[in-house]
Amino acid sequence: MIGQSFARHVARFLPALALAFAVLFASRSASAYAWMIRHDYAGCTACHADPSGGGLLTAYGRAQGEVLLRTHYKKGAEEEDPGTIGDFLFGAITLPESLLLGGDIRAMSMYIKPQFGPSVKKTFLMQADLAGQLSVDRVRVNGSLGYANEGALPASVTHGTGDRLVSRVFWGGVDIGEDRQFLLRAGRMNLPFGIRNLEHTMWVRSQTHTDTNDAQQHGVAFSYNGETFRGEIMAIAGNYQIHPDSLRQRGYSGYAEYDAITHLALGASSLVTHQSADLLLRTPVWRHAHGVFARYAPIEELVLMTETDLLFESQPPPAPNRLGVATDVQVDLEPVQGLHVIGTGEILDAYLSQNPPSYRLWGSLAWFFLPHVDLRFDALWESDALPKSRSNADVFLAQLHAYL
């Protein structure tokens, strides 16, 4: 009886502990703003070196960041030539066209108040990365190197759990096609799946193992970016920055997105991987994630985004199979250039028809108030379904981000 009571007591704390762990060890990679569709940028290749978005900016992407992203404090400034202030190191160094360089520094303060257990307060460094790309004609070499003292363990390139070097992406590729609309590359890359957004702890990212924090995998990818259609497929060889080999996931991941009309993009994703030993149960596991997503800007000031993914996990008995659904809806309102008011709702039904779903509600404010600098505040409420009960938590976050 004592053992059962203790187990039930611990179970009530698990959702809050899981949430605290997810937030505490968050370390977001360079920005990917899916709401740029409001500015007629449904695709990503104009502004990012990664064909599916996020990470290192191109020279054009830096210029548009200065023109379209940040708040301008004098009338008509957004129509002016951005000059060199948006360039690497604010234009202090002139780079050759063949070389892209960038870096991100992100700090966070957080306060977590779970329904059960003590509150958590902490200020820490989330991210300190440098990234670069060298191009010779159609050949590209791209990579990042950073510092971490908490989390991001799957991206580590040195040993230990404290002060470490991390490398989230490194790949080599070749542009193919008359307009270089195809890219074939190999290395460690973000998985092509769903909406590539900043909020990597959202269930559509964490439950599908496709976030941009540390879920990158080694493999070979082939992408296409046309005027109204884009997509990428990746053969996953596993994460060779973790050991042993039995923990590595192998399979495929891919997405396709189509611009149905101006400012409306519709997409679908699919992922299947196999792992010889599940991290917790140590049994072989097949993981599936298949879903749809959409981005829509009815007016320039407003962007609506949604994603729904069907989740399936298959393991040998006595481990249970899992069939679930993760979905979200996000509203991004930009009343003044550079100032974003964001509302997000999430639902996770981890085991369909077995337990009630879990819910999250986000309220966020992001302000790109200076060149290369933005500030973000998040208030998050989570309600986790438990057997015969429910556990709630309140989370408050403040982030300061600067890029080189």
In this predicted model, what pLDDT tens digit does every residue of 327-356 receive, in sequence order? 999 999 999 999 999 999 999 998 886 778
Alpha helices by DSSP H, listed for 25-144, are 59-64
C-alpha pair distances (Å), 12 with each of 116, 140, 222: 7, 50, 45
What's the token pair of residue 310? 């069907």
What pLDDT shows up at residue 74?
A: 81
Q: What's the CATH number where 50 sits?
A: 2.40.160.10
pTM value is 0.88
| Backbone φ and ψ of 203, nearest 5° | -65, -35
Residues 287-307 as b/e (b if ≥16 CB within 10 A, e otherwise) read: bbbbbebbbbbeeeeebbbbb
Torsion of CA 132, 134, 135, 141, to 10 degrees: -80
β-pairing verdict for 139-148 and 170-176: antiparallel
Tokens describing residue 339: 């100032």
Ranges of H-type helices in 46-128: 59-64
Specify the DSSP class assigned to residue 94: P
CB 27 within 8 A of CB 48: no
Q: What is the pLDDT of residue 84?
A: 84
Instruction: Report whether pLDDT(294) > 50.
Output: yes
How many CB atoms within 10 Å of residue 85? 13
Instruction: Identify the residue whose tokens are 């407003």.
Output: 302
Q: Is the pLDDT of residue 18 over 80?
A: no
Query: Coil, helix or strand for 216?
Result: coil
Counted residue by residue, the chain has a size of: 404
Query: Which residues contact residue 404 at a Cβ distance below 8 angstroms, ignoring those fewer than 6 apart?
Result: 88, 89, 101, 102, 103, 104, 130, 372
Three-state secondary-structure class, residue 186: strand
Residue 52 corresponds to which tokens in the numbers above?
């599916």
C-alpha distance from residue 7 to each of 13, 14, 15, 17, 292 (Å) = 10, 11, 14, 15, 38
The full DSSP string for 226-237 is -SSEEEEEEEEE
Alpha helix stretches (DSSP H) within 148-295: 203-206
Instruction: Report whether 252 contacts 233 (CB < 8 A).
Output: yes
Residue 310 domain boundaries: 2-403
Is there a cis peptide before residue 318, judged by omega within 30 degrees of 0?
yes
Read off the tokens for 199.
């909020």
Distance of CA 65 to the CA centre of its chain: 19
> What is the total count of domains within the chain?
1
- Please give the Cα distance from 42 to 37 (Å, whole number): 5
- Asked if 308 and 325 touch (Cβ cutoff 8 Å), the reply is yes
**How is the chain split among helix, strand and coil, in percent rounded to 5?**
15, 50, 35
Cα–Cα distance for residue pair 284/265, rounded to 1 Å: 37
Contact 358, 22 (CB under 8 A): no
Q: Give the number of other CB atoms < 10 A from CB of residue 262.
A: 9
Mean pLDDT for the stretch of residues 213-231? 95
Asked whether the beta carbons of 60 and 46 are under 8 A apart, the reply is: yes
Cis ω for the linkage preceding 284 (within 30 of 0): no
279, two tokens: 């991290």
pLDDT confidence tier of residue 318, bands split at 50, 70 and 90: confident
Query: Quick one: what percent of the chain has pLDDT higher than 70?
Result: 89
Q: Say how far apart CA 160 and CA 157 lie, in whole Å.
A: 10
pLDDT value, residue 77: 58
Q: What is the mean pLDDT of the chain?
A: 88
Per residue in 30-79, pLDDT tens?
Answer: 456 888 999 988 888 888 999 998 889 999 888 888 888 999 988 765 56
According to DSSP, the β-strands at 249-261 and 373-386 are unpaired
Q: Residue 367's Cα: distance from chain center in Å?
A: 19
Does 15 score more than 70 pLDDT?
no
